[in-house]
Structure 1
Amino acid sequence: MNRIGLDYAWILILTTTGLSTGLMGFTPANYPINDSALTPVSESTSIHVPEVSAPLLMAQTGRGRPVARRGGAGHGSCELGGQTNELLTSIVPRFSGEGLTVASQPMFWVYVPYSLSDSQSMQFLLKDATGSLIYQFTPTETAMLPGVIGIPLPSSVTLSENQEYLWTFTVTCGEMKLTVEGAVTRIALSPALETALQAATTPQERATVYRNSGLWLDALTVLAEQQRAQPNDAATASAWTDLLNQIQLGDVASKPIR
């Protein structure tokens, strides 16, 4: 083979080796896919679905969106005659899909850390998933604050099953408005749950049945009403604290229930 042929062979070998090395270095880890650039495809299209971690999958499907449970951070305070570092708080689970109830007229719970004057106001709004107003209520008993308050629904307002409702609670102090929110979905009372509730002999046991069934709002109401009726009952206080700790609102557990 003459020199020109040898040079050509070496060029071919080096080119092939370089190309192979380059392809080996081109991996998904080095060049991650931008999920936001993906577009929907039809059901008949064959695609590869990447694995998703369990917590992310639950948050997107079963648990719903995060709920804005705290109001007032970085926006001052409504405290009359002073300041407080505590925040207006809706006592609900962290995600909208966890706000389940079997009650047609559930109770809604809010912690108001302020002593309000008559010139300051509170407002509760309940809307359906389309944004239509279902119920509006303006609490006026500001003398009982600060504390945890329960907002009931009147007999004329009932929740339909398997429909999500959104609610907000707003405290207005002059030009400043502090708002928290919650979500609630009523589901049917199953025969098994009804039997378990009938077998429960104490409020703590009823709350446990509700909690084990994922009915956080019903568990909250049972314990809050019992804690309000018997504030010195150690068993109720312990169950109330444990429940609030599980939804990351343990700082509210020691507050008075009005």
Structure 2
Amino acid sequence: MKLALTGKTLLVSLSLGLAIVPNLIAEVKGQNQQVTRVKNFTWEVSQSYQPPDRSAPSTTAGGASRGSCLESTGVLTSLMPQNNLGLTATGYPTFFWYVPKSSAQALEFKLRDSTNGEVVYQKSLPVPENSGIVSFTLTKNELPAPLEVGKLYHWYFTMVCPPNPNEELPGKSGDVIVDGWVERTELNPVLVNQLENAAPSDRPALYAAAGIWHDSLTILVELLREKPDDQNLKNQWKELLNSVGLNSIAEKQIIDCCISKDD
């Protein structure tokens, strides 16, 4: 299954809300996109995410959930677009979740091939000491093969809660789970050219405008880890999450987690 990038027009300007002086720009056109490039090869685009023109299959867990082992008012939340489908250009993407304070015994990540339901990857991860945004990256030495282009994969992220002796069925722990979908896509040649000419801080916005969620989020988090006090990056982070309805997550701390227990 091939997935075309969004047909919406991407407008890049020197400054949002300001007019561009005509003799400072050159237009680059191709494959349903129009991009404006300034002569010094700097870019400025809106950090708003533009989703692909389709929805993910129906899910069982949804985008956020509560369970019996949470110790605060927080909710386990996947950092995903509202349609719960995330595109990536890499065979080994990174996933992000907000994990609240809990008494969970472990975190578990599972990835299924949506074609046959086969589990292609499963890992147990440590529970962070504090609440915050955690990430997990599929790696070449653990995943038998990279994600295939055009194939949907269904992932599940679970907070494994201890059994509750007060429940009628104490063996049922009330685990907290969220799920979503990921698909690898090929980059449009025009987008490749844009990325090659863009400053590192502008690349997340280019991915976001093209509907490639995982790469936009991953690169932006990497930049924030390098420059945690950069206000421009902080603003980009807030705008990106706000554009997909994750306003309540935008202020949460990004923490270093997680490495699989059997690494």
- Structure whose CA Rg is larger: 1
Common fold: TM-score over 0.5: yes
User: Hey, what's the Cα distance between the residues in 1 that align with 2:119 and 2:198?
Assistant: 36
CA-based RMSD of the aligned residues comes to: 1.9
Q: How far does residue 141 in structure 1 lie from its aligned partner after superposition?
A: 5.2
2:147 to 148, 152, 159: 159
Aligned to 2:227: 230
Aligned to 1:30: none
SS at match of 1:103: coil
Q: How far does residue 188 in structure 1 lie from its aligned partner after superposition?
A: 0.9
User: Hey, what's the Cα distance between the residues in 1 that align with 2:154 and 2:191?
Assistant: 25
Give TM-score scaled by structure 1 length: 0.68
Count of aligned positions: 188
State the one-letter code of the partner of 2:176. L
Q: Where is the helix percentage greater, Structure 1 or Structure 2?
A: 1
User: Hey, what's the Cα distance between the residues in 1 that align with 2:225 and 2:117?
Assistant: 33
Aligned to 1:131: 117
1:71 aligns with 2:57: no
1:159-178 to structure 2, matched below 5 A, reads 159-174=147-162, 175-178=173-176
1:88 aligns with 2:76: yes
Q: CA offsets per residue over residues 100-144 of structure 1, 9 Å max, x none? A: 111111101111011546xx111000111021111111112533x
Moved over 4 A (4+): none
Which structure 1 residue ranges, 5 or more long, are not aligned? 1-58
Aligned to 1:209: 206
Deviates more, 1:130-139 or 1:223-232: 223-232
Q: Contact 2:108/2:157 (CA < 8 Å) preserved in 1? A: yes
Aligned to 1:20: none
Structure ranking higher on relative contact order (CA contacts 8 Å, 6+ apart): 2
Q: Where is the strand percentage greater, Structure 1 or Structure 2?
A: 2
Q: CA offsets per residue over residues 190-210 of structure 1, 9 Å max, x none? A: 22111111111132x101110
User: Hey, what's the Cα distance between the residues in 1 that align with 2:219 and 2:152?
Assistant: 22
User: Hey, what's the Cα distance between the residues in 2 that align with 1:190 and 1:231?
Assistant: 31
Q: Contact 2:99/2:134 (CA < 8 Å) preserved in 1? A: yes
User: Hey, what's the Cα distance between the residues in 1 that align with 2:198 and 2:236?
Assistant: 15
Give TM-score scaled by structure 2 length: 0.67
Tell me the percent identity. 31
Q: Contact 1:100/1:187 (CA < 8 Å) preserved in 2? A: yes
Aligned to 1:43: none
Aligned to 1:146: 131
